[in-house]
Amino acid sequence: MAARVTIKTIAKDLGISHMTVSRALSDHPNVQKDTRELVKKRAAELGYVKIAAATAMRGDGTRIVGLLLPNIVNEFYASFANELARICEAFSYQLIIHLTDDDLKTEHKAMQQLREVQAKAVVVVPAPGDPHLMGGDRHHLDGLDVIQLIRQRSVTGREAAILVDDAGAISAAVKHLHATGHKKIAYIGANSDLSSGRNRLEAYRKGLRESGLSEIHELIKTAPPSFSMGGNSAEALLSEGVATAIVCGGFEISNGALHALLTSGRKPGSDIAFIGYGDPSFYTWIEGGISTIRVPVSPLANQTLQVLKSGTADDENAQIFEFQAELVIRKS
Amino acid sequence: MAARVTIKTIAKDLGISHMTVSRALSDHPNVQKDTRELVKKRAAELGYVKIAAATAMRGDGTRIVGLLLPNIVNEFYASFANELARICEAFSYQLIIHLTDDDLKTEHKAMQQLREVQAKAVVVVPAPGDPHLMGGDRHHLDGLDVIQLIRQRSVTGREAAILVDDAGAISAAVKHLHATGHKKIAYIGANSDLSSGRNRLEAYRKGLRESGLSEIHELIKTAPPSFSMGGNSAEALLSEGVATAIVCGGFEISNGALHALLTSGRKPGSDIAFIGYGDPSFYTWIEGGISTIRVPVSPLANQTLQVLKSGTADDENAQIFEFQAELVIRKS
DNA sequence: ATGAAAGCGCTAACAC
DNA sequence: GTGTTAGCGCTTTCAT
């Protein structure tokens, strides 16, 4: 393989100084038009690429953005990653994705690696847990422009946060079901390990109260959220035979519950009312449409871009943005 | 924000030369044990991180791996990305994901950017089309260790390829449909821009031949693959009213076709037999189960790791690996 | 065992 | 309009 082509290669090739080459390639005004064109032509011919490391080392920064997610198969994270990646493509940023598995140590290591490559900014869905137990490393964010997504965990107090407020939509879901005649409305959601779990359950309760319904213990299923937990909870509700409607409070839970309904031959919408959480594309096209609590993805991604572009590190006080989840009623 | 901490900062702080610091930090034998420990302690306190750009510039390479995908919402790509990202996490690689949208120009630009950051290797699902029409840029792969995934498009002849052999499964799909009484079996797939498109169509034809069926021109829909292409083709087949069964030859195509069937009120399995491509989790639980040609994900990801570790650039002849797709019959 | 010098590729700051 | 110099952070080589 040929030795790599640098501005000096081109300079030597053309018998000019490497600075002229540099200037020509970055459209500096102080170059003869002919020279500039000649240089560009030759550079293209030789297959020159500007080594990013060199500019980075000079302190000119990088075009790297980090994204830290628990995983990338959950359709919400996948579509957020997709949107952010598309945005990065449009702005010629490069997106480094790290999976944290919701583990603090993994998250910490990924942050470290992003510092090493001098990422311009890092978008992170913070792992649950207390970061201060991580060995008191006060530096693991130094020089990093951090944007927290979905979950908030203040560390330096200077991280921006882009959050989702789903309380209104969850309460609305309960009230909608009540308005359409349901009195036994079940809830399947995360337990209180995460603040989002607590908040969603509280929103469900608020919906009940505002509908004049009283809480029935058997209709509330909470546990660490997962696909199978959603399925088990739905099956339990079905076999207990009390609930006439189900509201879900989590992405995986929603899919698990839906799976349980469909594979047991129940039709969401006719046999039992169902309101899911999140909005994978196939919700719109199965069983006449699955009602759901939609978490907006594009607005989150676009706001992320805005924050990326404005920069957070220089700001004294954290910027916090909240987007409303939305109740989408379809056939189920 | 404090100026960034380099080995010189630490050296000055400790009153020793920056070389000793460098050696200490990289566990070079020629350092006093006490010195080494002191240096490491001080480095941690000051929040030192080794700037990756500096090492990269010296020619020591990077730990960056690129992944070029059409998108990351398609569940197949998402789960591959997830597996690869997990592997990268385990080996302290950093994964840069670029979305190509199956567009050659976008792919080309992403490759360029990955060359700029001196990615160690690039895993790419090649976009359809003729790369030679891209302006004859013979350099856009220089210095890049390319691993083609799923689709193969020989350019330099030295790219490794990790492929799926789905010919058997596709033929089997046709034969299965014939065995269950179908005589008008349609095929929706990619056109011949990609070898995979040609191969799949050929496998479909082979299935027809081995079933004693003759090819009907109207039942074959090929075009550049996409969700909407799948949908349009399915609608065309429905309105022409000839086909009694559909076999899909692509991930997006399959979802697009399924979408078209479901939203037009057709039941895959009863109104028209349907065999999809790829195996997103919801295929198992809608409409009693969607039959499909399943592509293995984990084996692909693990083989990718193997190739990543061995390196391809130095190899004279391309390494090619093939994994078998599998026909999964469900209710549809 | 430790230090000094050189150089990776690039551009800002000076010459001229 | 063009060329020379210096330095970003790091490690290899060559002293000491």
Q: Which residue lies nearest C8, CA-to-C1' measured?
A: B58
**Mean pLDDT, chain A, integer:** 93
Note whether B53 contacts A53, CB cutoff 8 Å.
yes
Q: Taking residues B99-112, report their average pLDDT.
A: 96
d(CA B296, CA B50): 38
pLDDT of A1 higher than 60: no
CA distances (Å), B5 to each of A58, B35, B49, B185, in order?
A: 15, 19, 7, 67
- Helix axis angle for B298-310 and B75-90, nearest 10°, is 40
Asked if the C-beta of A61 comes within 8 angstroms of chain B's C-beta atoms, the answer is no
Query: In this predicted model, what pLDDT tens digit does every residue of B3-17 receive, in sequence order?
Result: 789 999 999 999 999
Contacts of A155 in chain B (CB under 8 A): none
pLDDT for A157: 76
Using a CB–CB cutoff of 8 Å, tell me whether B263 touches chain A: yes
Angstroms from B313 CA to nearest CA on chain A = 9
**Phi, psi at A172, each rounded to 5°:** -60, -35
Q: What is the pLDDT of residue B94?
A: 98
What is the structure's pLDDT at A196? 85
Which listed CATH number (3.40.50.300, 3.30.1360.170, 3.30.9.10, 3.40.50.2300) goes with B167-294? Answer: 3.40.50.2300
The beta-carbon neighbor of B118 closest among A53, A57, A94 is A53
Q: Please determine, for residue A87, whether its predicted confidence score (pLDDT) is greater than 70.
A: yes
Q: CA-to-CA distance for B147 and B80, rounded, in angstroms?
A: 14
Structure confidence at residue A153 (pLDDT): 84
pLDDT band at B53 (very low <50, low <70, confident <90, very high): very high
Least confident of A5-19, A43-57, B142-156, B312-326: B312-326
Q: Which residues pair with A99 in a beta bridge?
A: A69
Q: Do B255 and B274 contact (CB within 8 A), yes or no?
A: no
The H or E element containing residue A78 is helix A75-90
- Reply yes or no on whether the pLDDT at A135 is more than 80: no
Q: Which residues of B touch A95 (CB under 8 A)?
A: 96-98
Report pLDDT digits (tens) over A185-244.
999 999 887 788 899 999 999 999 999 999 999 999 999 988 999 999 999 999 999 999
Could you say which of A50, A62, A282 has the minimum Cβ distance to residue B282? A282
Distance from CA of B245 to the nearest CA of A (A): 20
- pLDDT, tens digit, 9 for 90 and up, residues B185-212: 999 999 988 888 999 999 999 999 999 9
Q: Does residue B84 belong to the interface with chain A, where contact is any CB pair within 8 Å?
A: no
Residue A100 scores a pLDDT above 80: yes
B positions 35-54 inside 8 Å of A (CB): 44, 46-47, 49-54
Asked if the Cβ–Cβ distance from B97 to A118 is below 8 Å, we say no
User: What confidence category does residue B223 fall into, taking pLDDT thresholds of 50, 70 and 90?
Assistant: very high
Kindly state whether A118 is in contact with chain B, defined as any CB-CB distance less than 8 angstroms.
Answer: yes
The amino acid occupying position B283 is Y
Q: What homologous superfamily does CATH list for A64-164+298-323?
A: Response regulator (3.40.50.2300)
Of the partner residues B63, B85, B113, the one whose CB lies closest to the CB of residue A97: B85
Cβ of B58 near strand C (under 7 Å)? The reply is: yes
- Indicate yes or no: CB of A47 within 8 angstroms of CB of B97: no
Counting residues of chain A whose pLDDT is more than 70, the rounded percentage is 98
- Given B53, B78, B281, which is nearest A78 (Cβ)? B78
CB contact under 8 A, B57 and A52: no
Which window residues (22-41, chain A) lie with Cβ within 7 Å of strand C? 22, 25-26
Select the residue of A118, A258, A285 nearest B53 (Cβ to Cβ).
A118
Q: Which residues contact B45 (CB under 8 A, 6 or more apart)?
A: none
Residue closest to B263 by CA, chosen among A281, A138, A253: A281
pLDDT of residue A92: 97
At residue A318, the pLDDT reads 74
A316–B contact, CB cutoff 8 A: no
Share of chain B above pLDDT 90, in %: 83
More confident residue, B133 or B230: B230
Q: Is the pLDDT of residue B43 over 90?
A: yes
- Band of pLDDT at residue B141, cut at 50, 70 and 90: confident
Could you tell me if B82 lies within 8 Å of chain A, comparing CB atoms? yes
**Chain A partners within 8 Å of B158 (Cβ):** none
Q: How far does the CA of B42 sit from the C1' of D16, in Å?
A: 27
Report chain C positions within 7 A of protein CB atoms.
1-5, 7-13
**Measured between CB atoms, which of A4, A64, A285 is closest to B263?**
A285
Q: Which of A112, A122, A139 to mutate to test the interface with B (most CBs of B within 10 A)?
A: A139
Residue of B nearest to A3 (CA): B143
| Nucleotide nearest to A26 in CA–C1' terms | C11
What integer pLDDT is reported at residue A316 of this predicted model? Answer: 63
CA–C1' distance B51–C9 (Å)?
16
Using CA atoms, how far residue A162 sits from A91, A121, A304, B73, in Å, is: 20, 14, 7, 21
Q: Cβ separation of A78 and B72 shorter than 8 Å?
A: yes
pTM listed for this prediction: 0.92
**Which of B8, B235, B286 best probes binding to A when mutated, by most A CB atoms within 10 angstroms?**
B286
Name every chain A residue with its beta carbon within 8 A of the beta carbon of B64: 96, 117
Q: Which long-range contacts (CB under 8 A, 24 or more apart) does A267-270 make?
A: A268/A332, A269/A331, A269/A332
Looking at residue A240, its pLDDT comes to 95
> Assign residue B265 a region: left if phi > 0, alpha if psi is -120 to 50, beta otherwise?
left
pLDDT at B150 over 60: yes
Domain with CATH 3.40.50.2300 in chain A: 64-164+298-323, 167-294
Q: Which residue is nearest to nucleotide C10 (CA to C1')?
A: A54
